[in-house]
Structure 1
Amino acid sequence: MAFNPIPAWNVIVFEKTNEAHMIASKHLPEYLFTAYMNNPFPLSNARYYHKQTDTQSIYYLSPEASVISADLLNMYGAMLLLDEPDVAGFDEHFI
């Protein structure tokens, strides 16, 4: 079943114990930027938040960033959030 993005917060979590996850985590910002640049609709305020913990690499995508590419969110197993996450302690990146 394909992931259909709606304007809402999404989270993608990569486990550091999984080498494939860590490789994917390093490429996510590049793929997100490429999808943004190829998006035919102008998007403002698209951003993501990133934090590394001892066991995980966590990305929160703003609603504006979440609608950039359904394929990208589906490929990385993004999870839809019902509420805005607490991003205190995360690095903010504008796309």
Structure 2
Amino acid sequence: MHAGRSTLAPPVARQLVDRLGARRSDVTPAEADRLTSLSPREREVLRLLARGLSNAGIAAELGTTEGTVKGHVSAVLDKLGAESRVQAARLAYRAGLDDGP
């Protein structure tokens, strides 16, 4: 620790930066096609889902009802071929849709 903060050894820091930079290219062409099939609203729902928001949280963020969000989440899962919110969130993360680094 340095001044109360953790430090990383330079090789570890480099590896971390490389991994974070590479994640956006971690999407297969088929996955990219499925992502482009999403409507703008579905992409927004996926982005919020990837940030870990619940249906209620997504509804509050978008100013809509939970029922509407449930419909969007179902459409997102179907279009992405994802079996769960976790799978969809992982794809969003790899595609850089989660507002991460």
Task: Report the TM-score, using the length of structure 2 for normalisation.
Answer: 0.28
Q: TM-score, normalised by structure 1?
A: 0.29
Higher strand share: 1
Larger relative helix fraction: 2
Quick check: which has more Rg, 1 or 2?
Answer: 2
Higher relative contact order (CA 8 A, sep 6+): 1
